Structure 1
Amino acid sequence: MQKTQLMVDYTVEGILQIADMYETPLAVKKCENYLIKGSKLGSKKMLELAEKYRLEELKFSDSMTEREFTLKYIFKDVGELKDGRRPYSPEEEHFRVNWKIEIRKKENHLAMYLHTNVIENQQVHVDYTMKIISKNKGKTHLKSATNVFEKQGDPLRDNWGWHKFIEWKTVEEEYLDDGKLEVESHVKITKMIGFTREKLRSFGEETKQFSDVILKVMGRKFYVSKLSLSSQSPYFATLFLGQFQESGKSEIELKDVNPEDLQCYLEVIYLEDAIDETTVLQILTVADMYDTPIIVKKCEKFLVKESEMELKKKLELAGKYRLEELRKVCLDQIKTKEDIQTVVPENLDEMDREILGELFKKTLSLI
């Protein structure tokens, strides 16, 4: 019997359970690969396994067609709600996205919205229903819609819903129970874009015991070691160990950085092989921002020896991030007037002055 036939649907859950119990990541990964590529289990069962055993690749694979959940919350003192107030339900994380419900009193109506924390280049396509439930559970009022959640304007949040979900008078007469309003939102995700990369290492709360500081970016928390970051980054060494106010804090908020970019950067700090064609620019940007020369050098090495990025882009990065080896390798590849034309931008101000001077010398030598 072939090896691939040994792992069949009725044994995979048992293997997963034992592999997880005895911390055998290779066996867990083999089970996950089987579930993605060969299993005939229904998507509901596969989602159950993905959640239980933290199988992130399975959770976001094309084989997973059911991504559904329900938010439930009881708002208090709704009868006293004034125009302009915006109470929210607690945030819940489902499928790498934080969700919450907002209600408002607006133009003599109850307004209801569903919020996410999607970031740039992410999209979540959803079918969703929002409803309120009467005090005796005998009546509901609901509305359904299909929308795409993506970053629009607000750097942290996007929302969809209804400005006039139901008349406020009806809410007061039929749905409030001593000022309380029971609300639900059922969400079915039909497509996710920008969530495909598998994390090589988690920096979530489960790693708290190995952490002595929390980095917070756009609401997302990264549990990390001060020593690990300080040993490679003078920026973090000063931040954590210097005389700044932040040095004594257990939680520090970082600005002007994308959480996915920070995730990739931290993976490299923690010696994961995270640099590839899709992440090198993210990692290089953060490594330069936080003065991490060893990570910058690793990115440069990848760009020199492995990357198939176009020459013009490599030369741009060499100038922007002062990558001398990459600059030399790129310039050595430019041998003709046509080569020069392909790397020079329309706006010369966008090119590093030193590189521009080298190209000018090459142009003169070819006349």
Structure 2
Amino acid sequence: MNGKQLSVSKAANSDSSTVPTAASSQKQPSIPLKHFIIKHTFKNISKIPADKRVFTDEEEHFGIKWSLQICYLANCLACFVKCNEPVVTQNKLSDTNIEMRIGKKGGGKKCQEITTVIGQRLPNGTAVRTWLFNRYIEWEQLKKEFLIDDDLVIEFFFEIKKMTGIYKDNLREFDETMEEFSDVVLVVKEQKFFVLSKFLAAQSSYFKAMFLGHFDESSQSEIKLSGIDADDFQNYLEVLYGEPAIDEYTVEGILMVSDMYDTQSVIRKCEEFLLKESKKTLKKKLAMAVRYNLEKLKSKCLSEVTDVNILRSVIPGDFRNMEQSILADLLEKSLSFQ
């Protein structure tokens, strides 16, 4: 199959289930699929003793657990990001961008960005799992310019470009060995997937419009997809073809792709996994339920919020990050505890 390559992308953080428009043949900006934000408010900063680290609770994203730390070190603020997943001692997440932002009192932010390889080996054989933003802000400057009521708000923006050795082995191949059983090639970050267009069209309104609608793509044999991860697309296709590809590590990426391409059958299977098998925290499940409109999962999560302590555990460090609808539900819950 040697047809022209065309680029089709949809914003990865879009909540819309729209399908390609006539402009879909034009290359659009690609938003990285594996991206997330950890935001935390550290309180009583001026009371932190020298050299003592203050930790946040763990947050799980794409099957990996993360936490933040700050420290008063050599008269400066030091900030740490830690990957708490033991699997990185044997495998890697590569090409990870981490950007830290701290807001100033009068507006504006101080930012710093690093690119790192999670799990890379040091000469002594240990795997790197902690990154230090050292001597980031002098302590006196911090108190004058950044603290609000002795609180410090820090945001970390993560972009994971490639995960290596974390996912399971492929359960089904979509490479050149499947060429004679396919009629179109989908290309994701240089990786080719040989698939049947009508099978995808029957499962996804996005692909139905692409392959059966009046768009340039419907007549092409090779199409480039942007804004998604090749491993996530592999896992998504495996679920479509009936393979048991959903697990704690893959479910979030599969959900993102299936939501992006409006594939309700895969979304239902992911929701079923989260309802019956997943060991993710209640906070994580609720966040995923809200993001992907998983109503059954949302109802189950809310039913498990039975006291004030559980309510507090599902609220993020900055509750303003939560959607208004779920805030209203949690407020109603809180009133029932009184």
Q: Normalized against structure 1, the TM-score is what?
A: 0.48
Counterpart of 2:330? 359
Return closer, same or farther for 1:216/1:121 CA change in 2, 3 Å cut-off. farther
> How much has 1:353 moved relative to structure 2?
1.8
Distance, in Å, in 2 between the alignment partners of 1:278 and 1:248 is 36
> How much has 1:348 moved relative to structure 2?
2.0
2:182 matches 1:200: no
Distance, in Å, in 2 between the alignment partners of 1:196 and 1:280 is 11
Return closer, same or farther for 1:122/1:242 CA change in 2, 3 Å cut-off. farther
Counterpart of 1:326? 297
* CA offset digits 1:43-73 (Å, max 9, x no partner): xxxxxxxxxxxxxxxxxxxxxxxxxxxxxxx
Return closer, same or farther for 1:195/1:332 CA change in 2, 3 Å cut-off. closer
* CA offset digits 1:108-153 (Å, max 9, x no partner): xxxxxxxxxxxx978788xxxxxxxxxxxxxxxxxxxxxx9xxxxx
Matches within 5 A, 1:86-235: 193-194=164-165, 197-235=168-206
Letter in 2 for 1:304: L
Return closer, same or farther for 1:211/1:194 CA change in 2, 3 Å cut-off. same
Return closer, same or farther for 1:365/1:271 CA change in 2, 3 Å cut-off. same
Counterpart of 2:211? 240
Return closer, same or farther for 1:335/1:121 CA change in 2, 3 Å cut-off. farther
Alignment match of 2:287 (pick from 316, 319, 343): 316
Contact 1:228/1:270, CA 8 A, preserved across alignment: no
Return closer, same or farther for 1:121/1:357 CA change in 2, 3 Å cut-off. farther
Counterpart of 1:277? 248
Contact 1:122/1:193, CA 8 A, preserved across alignment: no
Counterpart of 1:79? none
Distance, in Å, in 2 between the alignment partners of 1:329 and 1:155 is 30
> How much has 1:194 moved relative to structure 2?
2.4
Distance, in Å, in 2 between the alignment partners of 1:196 and 1:318 is 23
2:317 matches 1:346: yes
Counterpart of 2:238? 267
Distance, in Å, in 2 between the alignment partners of 1:301 and 1:121 is 33
Distance, in Å, in 1 between the alignment partners of 2:216 and 2:188 is 18
Contact 1:214/1:222, CA 8 A, preserved across alignment: yes
Letter in 2 for 1:359: L
Higher relative contact order (CA 8 A, sep 6+): 2
Letter in 2 for 1:229: L
* CA offset digits 1:142-190 (Å, max 9, x no partner): xxxxxx9xxxxx9989xxxxxxxxxxxxxxxxxxxxxxxxxxxxxxxxx
Contact 2:232/2:254, CA 8 A, preserved across alignment: yes
Distance, in Å, in 1 between the alignment partners of 2:267 and 2:117 is 24
Percent of aligned positions that are identical: 44
Return closer, same or farther for 1:196/1:366 CA change in 2, 3 Å cut-off. closer
Return closer, same or farther for 1:284/1:196 CA change in 2, 3 Å cut-off. closer
Counterpart of 1:144? none
Q: Normalized against structure 2, the TM-score is what?
A: 0.52
Return 5+ residue gaps in structure 2 as ranges. 1-115, 122-127, 129-158
* CA offset digits 1:321-355 (Å, max 9, x no partner): 00000000000000000010000012223222221
Distance, in Å, in 1 between the alignment partners of 2:288 and 2:308 is 21
Distance, in Å, in 2 between the alignment partners of 1:359 and 1:256 is 33
Question: In angstroms, what is the RMSD of aligned CA positions?
Answer: 3.0
Contact 1:204/1:223, CA 8 A, preserved across alignment: yes
Distance, in Å, in 2 between the alignment partners of 1:358 and 1:271 is 35
Alignment match of 2:306 (pick from 335, 341, 348): 335
Contact 2:167/2:249, CA 8 A, preserved across alignment: no
Structure having the larger proportion of residues in helix? 1
* CA offset digits 1:179-219 (Å, max 9, x no partner): xxxxxxxxxxxxx9526521000000011011100000111
Letter in 2 for 1:205: E
Distance, in Å, in 2 between the alignment partners of 1:342 and 1:258 is 31
Letter in 1 for 2:248: E
Contact 1:287/1:295, CA 8 A, preserved across alignment: yes
Alignment match of 1:299 (pick from 260, 270, 285): 270
Say which SS state the counterpart of residue 357 (structure 1) adopts: helix
Distance, in Å, in 2 between the alignment partners of 1:359 and 1:155 is 31
Contact 1:217/1:259, CA 8 A, preserved across alignment: yes
